[in-house]
Amino acid sequence: MINPFHLKYFYDSCQFSSISRAAELNRVSHSAVSQSIKAIEISMGVSLLQHSKRRFVLTSEGELLFQEAIKIFEAFENLTESINSKKNLESLFGTLKIGFSQSIAHALLMSKIVNFCNQNSNVHPQISIGNSNSLESLIDSRKIEIGFGIEDGSFAKFERQCIYKGNFILASSQPFKNKETFLVGDKGSEVHTLRKYLKKQIPNAKFYEIQSWLIMSKLAEEGLGVALIPDFFLEDKKSKLIIRYPNIKLPNYELNAYFRSKDNLTSVANKFLTLFKINNS
């Protein structure tokens, strides 16, 4: 039988791809974690790690054990949460593990997170910031339960709940400066549509590629040019942006909450999703 403490050290090492980080988290020595992993290998008669001086790499057996360990510690976390919840039926207990881009957080999520945690004092947020690719990996590895992003094909294997629908827009400051300078991302149907339209209508248009809608909107407010952004940025009452070129038909979008399975979400994550009223898509 595997010692549960040994399994915990192995599990944490896998989560962070670091024996040192697992040792720090569990307040034990690096040697204690290494010896625990070795004890599991001896007990099971397999090698869990590939021999590499600078990289933490699992063998196929190690990856299989890690996936099973995830299930074990998820079940333990859910059990702890269930017991704590019964102590006080009016309160939630646990961690809100979510991820999103900085742009989406600034425009739509910050106030909801603050209000949710203020109303549920025994919930603490664990937040990751990233793009579509990194959020997909975080959901897959169970480091977050919910990732928020605009549908672009990156999250095809996950279940989802639509939380906002809208259109891409062009917006700038008032007065209207730098009318032929456009702040855009490097990909997306909205960028393709705009470039195709402007190629005929404004041949001298300049494009500044910026990898953040939030930064685009701030630069546009300062008069640098016209930002190609989702319309939810206009929800901010402090925004100084005004819609420009309304005759250009730009794509619509869906902003979704993505998760592995709604049935397996913790009560904290499920409760947070109830803050968003749009029906599942």
For the chain, the domains span 4-82, 89-163+255-273, 165-252
For 137-190, write each residue's pLDDT tens digit.
899 888 999 999 988 777 888 999 999 899 999 999 988 888 999 999 988 899
Q: Is the pTM of this model over 0.85?
A: no
Domain 89-163+255-273 has CATH 3.40.190.10: yes
Q: Look up the CATH architecture of domain 165-252.
A: 3-Layer(aba) Sandwich (3.40)
Instruction: Give SS3 for 265.
Output: coil
Left if phi > 0, otherwise alpha if psi is -120 to 50, otherwise beta: which for 271? alpha
Rounded-to-integer distance, Cα 230 and Cα 164, Å: 11
165-252 shares the fold of 4-82: no
Q: How confident is the model at residue 79 (pLDDT cuts 50, 70, 90)?
A: confident
The whole-number pLDDT of residue 108 equals 84
- Class (C level, CATH) for 4-82: mainly alpha
Query: Percent of the chain at pLDDT above 70?
Result: 94
The whole-number pLDDT of residue 1 equals 78
Rounded-to-integer distance, Cα 198 and Cα 206, Å: 10
The whole-number pLDDT of residue 281 equals 42
For 27-58, write each residue's pLDDT tens digit.
999 999 999 999 999 999 999 998 776 788 89
